[in-house]
Chain A
């Protein structure tokens, strides 16, 4: 009996000593993650979260509070208020959609919180609305499309048919492509957001004399379109930004996606140690292939950890400087921030291929080297 109490006492002492030690470091940091975990867009948020959590697995200096924004701007704003005021988080992250980011980010940075964007890069936040506390670890919305436009010029694509949903991100993506593309545009079609049947558009594509179809249809819209396109017998080159062809949805499209060219800053076959480790660890932990969203969540966490090693989050200027250094081994290889805190990175052209039974992407080449956005000039911080 005596022995037992003694051991218990010793154990308690050891535990409290450990706690005291952690406190003594004072480096603990609280992260508020607002992301989409329910509804049609949940796959993206789940991947960002899982990538983020994988990178900080076993790190007891970071505490993460995760909440579901249901892909609704009003809910995201409420969650952000709650996290800042009652949870007292130091850093916010997680938002997937541009319209939600626009609703949350300006208010959060105005209250002195850091925001690290693991996805979504609306042009307003890269230009006039930039903030010293806002860091985009993914891309500015136009980036993949500009790179695709540049790639099209060099790869003998003469006439394109453009298609995107009729909402701001859709229009930005098409504008981004046209900014760099020098060839001819046969037709420009805007579909309804959330449209599921593309028979009418496919008939127009069939009748068009374009050699290539360039389209941005994220999530379920892309799945529907690709399946219907495959059954239509139309044979044109297909190109688009990576969002319609990422790992999470390729499984649902199946063989119909094989051969599609898409631009991305990340691919699972980028050849560097950090990426190999990430892909292997992710598969071991979650038993599925990582998507680009998972890679972005992972890089966001690595960036945060690197800054924590250099500065205390309570010293905002020092922490900002530490984030600006971007001193971490990105799974993308090269990664640094431009003056507007948006990435300068290579954008790759990928092709959808079949590896055994799995439909996935492989890199064809670099579409744009050290690519950055055009909005930085308007950013004064």
Chain B
């Protein structure tokens, strides 16, 4: 494998990791602050993608589409927090899983009802549709570079929000002791709605960004949700830093595994069986990574016991 191809694959791994981070950040915030397992997080990702496709269809503007996706996902998040999630904080995790699974079904079928069963059209803006030439002669799609940039900006913003703002302090305090910050006069239910809407908006942004290069269809969120859970387990539940590191690890392992493993096996196996073994192992690679991390750090890389 040439060095150029290798660097391109590393970029691909980074880009997929950054997207996973946007999903995992919301999931881990919601779990860390409210102790809630939200299976419907993938639905919010789907809401973002569908809202972006609809707005892009009406207006033709990609920027407006992204704004629409953020707004729609945040609104959907706030609404389900107020109507459903709020009643689940004191319940068992199993009840939360059941209720949020029901939300997945409701979101999926209402989306089908509104938009139909056929995938929607959403494309990258014309200005970013081609590849750009990076130093070293690497051709790389401009849109994927944009995704990496947006993801890094959001990550920086999120760290600043958590570490430096008043809301961030309240969020961190809520994670540590929710009764105490209620006693100190912080409106805890408003804080929860806010955190939930923030997590939802991040998922919606990921859905819209990814929707432009993937298929905008009902059920698109669930495969990503599973990966996001793997990320937060690796990174440590509740930790934003863990989500970032975990997401990058998963993105790189997944991408490089699917490329390098078949090559590795073909060095001592026959071509067709090398492809078969390599493809099978690469599908497992992130779960092997997760198992390996949990073996040495049972609470995840940045998790607290």
Contact = CB atoms under 8 A, between A and B. Distances in A.
A196 B139 CA distance: 21
B117 interface: yes
Interface residues of A, number: 41
A318 interface: no
A203 B131 contact: no
B193 interface: no
B283 interface: yes
B217 A220 contact: yes
A72 interface: no
B275 A223 contact: no
Contact of B123 (A38, A39, A227): A227
A192 B280 CA distance: 8
B119 A223 contact: yes
A189 B261 CA distance: 12
Interface of B: 1-2, 5, 8-9, 12-13, 15-16, 108-109, 112, 117-121, 123-124, 128-131, 139, 141-144, 210, 212-220, 223-224, 255-256, 258-259, 262, 271-272, 275-276, 279-280, 282-283
A233 interface: yes
A369 interface: no
Contacts of B218: 39-40, 42
B223 A231 contact: no
Contact of A252 (B12, B118, B129): B118
B130 A199 contact: no
Contacts of B118: 43, 248-249, 251-252
Q: Is the interface of B mostly helix, strand, loop or mixed?
A: helix
Given A190-B275, A196-B224, A231-B141, 16 more contacts: A38-B117, A39-B219, A42-B112, A166-B280, A194-B223, A199-B16, A199-B141, A203-B9, A203-B12, A220-B215, A220-B217, A227-B124, A248-B118, A249-B118, A249-B119, A251-B118
Pairs of residues from A and B, 9 with the lowest C-beta to C-beta distance, nearest first: A220-B215, A233-B131, A199-B12, A223-B215, A252-B119, A42-B117, A224-B214, A190-B279, A231-B141
A190 B141 contact: no
Contacts of A230: 129
Contacts of A184: none
Interface in A229-284: 230-233, 248-249, 251-254, 256
Contacts of A199: 9, 12, 15-16, 141, 144, 255
Contacts of A179: none
Nearest to B120: A252
Nearest to B6: A203
Given A194-B223, A251-B121, A228 B141 contact: yes
